Every structure is written in structure tokens, then in C-alpha cells.
Chain A
Amino acid sequence: MQGKQPGVIETGSTSGRLSISPVSGCLFGMRYISMIPNMSGSHLLFFILINDRISMKEKMSLLLVSGTADKLMAGAIIASGAIANDMEVDIFVSFWGLMEFKKGASKKVNLSYDGIEIKDEVLKKMEQKKIPSWMDMIKQAKEVGDVKIYACAMFADLMDLKKDDLDPVVDEIIGVSQFVSMAKEAKMTLFI
């Protein structure tokens, strides 16, 4: 959590009066606010770290709300694609998606209604071709790249789920505001 505390880097004299409107920007993946004094050439730089992870890597954020294997698999595959593009991935899981991250969740592969007429054929081929489960794909993505999975605090509260009730693949339970602050920094956000 050290990333949440603003670090202050002081350069030169602090005696100058600070202007009211700060200059902000992005440097090495960190958001900064620079206060430029009116009177002298010296200045103060306040580095405010927005995320725990300090890096220059681009980010993708995914909202995984659906609980069927096709959607969860789409999330896992897109996360893998993001890693291959050297991106970091934040996945926020809620509702039916979150229910599938419960410890002991049924391993039964359900598909969404969209493909109901070819459901059996798809399931058969998935089994024949030994397609790994979406969970295995997520685990592999986490192993290869920087993928974080966050459970939605609202839905966890609704369903009385604590961190211990969730699969260890889930990193943390966070609120929507924290996720949006991550998504704000992301290059792209997808709702699945």
C-alpha cells in the first residue's frame, strides 16, 4: 500500500510562494503534480502514485460480469492477448462472473444463450480438443504476465462472500471507485 502515500521530492529552496494552480502530468507511469513557486526558480514536485504498481506499461482493464464459460473464456483470452502486447491487466469481477470465482464453484461448463442451437457441438469439440478451462487460462495469464483479479465489494457483500470464500486466484476485494481509478489509467476497458 506504500504506493498510495504521496511521496514528496523537494528541489531547491522552499521559500518561494507556491502558485495556486498546480501543473500535473505523467512521468514514468506516475502521476505528478508540480507546484511552481511565483518568486524563485525553485519548485516542489509532489509525486502522487495512482496505482500500487509503478510501471510504464500500458494497461487494459476488464469488467467480467458474465458467468458463462464463453464469456469468461473471452476475458481470459483477451487478457492473454494483452500480456502478449506487453500490457498489464486489471480484471474486476462481479455478479455471475464473481460467482464462478467462488471456492468450490461448479466446474460445469455452461454457455450463454446466444449459441444455444450449437451448444452441444461446441461443448463436444471443446472436450475433444482438450481446450483448457477459462480458469486454467487465467492462471496461465497470471503466471506469464501481470494480471490482477479484483472481486467487486458490492456483490461480495450482497452474497456474504469474504476473501477466504473466493479462489486464491482473486487478489483482492475492492470497491467500484478503485476499479474506475484503474480503468481511468487504462488504455482500454472492456465489459464482458
Chain B
Amino acid sequence: MSEEIKPTKIIDARGSYCPGPLMELIKAYKQAKIGDIISVYSGDSGTKIDAPAWVKKSGNELLGVFDRDGYFEIVVKKTR
């Protein structure tokens, strides 16, 4: 996580497979407030494609997909 982005909620979905991490993200999104930043950790290759696509389609803001050590992190800002 870069210093300037502070997530409101972190979901550690490592060890969970498609569509698990995406479902976790959508669940957190529904509970979040506008402006909240949600970060998802996942090692699942399907999620790496599906989650950013969902963010775009749902009209929210993708703050980034970051490669980490053995997993990746998707950071989303709820804008609607």
C-alpha cells in the first residue's frame, strides 16, 4: 500500500478463489459509505481481471492494482 492511500477497509481474501474475493469486495462495497476506500488482497488470477472490470462497470474509482509479494492488492474508492 502506498503511503498516500489509506483504505477504510481491508479485505484479506488470499486463499479464496474466483468468485470469492469479488463477492467479498461487492459485499464490502454495499456496506461502505461514499468516499470509503476498500482494499482487497487476493492471489486469484480471475479476480485480478474481474474485480477491476467490476469497479469500472459499477462506476466506481479504481485507485490501483498493486503487485505484492505472492499476491496483489486492488484498491477501490466508492464514488456512487
Query: Chain A: how many interface residues by the 8 Å CB criterion?
Result: 17
Binds B, one of A3-11, A56-64, A126-134: A126-134
A98 interfacial contact with B, CB 8 Å? no
A144 touches B17 (CB 8 A): no
Which secondary structure characterizes the binding site on chain B? helix
B74 interfacial contact with A, CB 8 Å? no
Which secondary structure characterizes the binding site on chain A? helix
A83 touches B23 (CB 8 A): yes
C-alpha spacing A144/B22, complex, angstroms: 10
Contact with A along B1-43 (1 / 0, CB 8 A): 0000000000000011111101100110010000000000000
- How far is the CB of A130 from the nearest CB of chain B, in Å? 7
B58 touches A144 (CB 8 A): no
Interface range for B: 10 to 19
- How far is the CB of B69 from the nearest CB of chain A, in Å? 20
Q: Which chain B residues lie closer than 8 Å to A141 at the CB level? A: 23
Counting residue pairs across A and B whose Cβ atoms lie within 8 Å, the total is 34
Q: Which chain B residues lie closer than 8 Å to A140 at the CB level? A: 20, 23, 27
B27 touches A86 (CB 8 A): no
User: A80: which of B23, B30, B57 is its contact (CB, 8 Å)?
Assistant: B23
Q: Taking A130-B15, A132-B20 as contacts, is the C-beta distance between A84 and B50 under 8 angstroms? A: yes
B54 interfacial contact with A, CB 8 Å? yes
User: B17: which of A83, A85, A129 is its contact (CB, 8 Å)?
Assistant: A129
Contact with B along A129-149 (1 / 0, CB 8 A): 111100001001101110000
**What residues make up the interface of B, taking CB atoms closer than 8 Å to A?**
15-20, 22-23, 26-27, 30, 50, 54, 57-58
Can you list 17 A-B pairs, Cβ within 8 angstroms, ordered by A?
A77-B19, A80-B19, A80-B22, A81-B19, A83-B26, A84-B19, A84-B26, A85-B57, A130-B15, A132-B20, A140-B20, A140-B23, A140-B27, A141-B23, A143-B27, A144-B23, A144-B27
13 more contacts with CB within 8 A, not counting A77-B19, A83-B23, A144-B26, are A77-B18, A80-B19, A81-B19, A84-B22, A84-B50, A84-B54, A85-B57, A86-B57, A129-B17, A131-B17, A132-B20, A140-B27, A143-B27
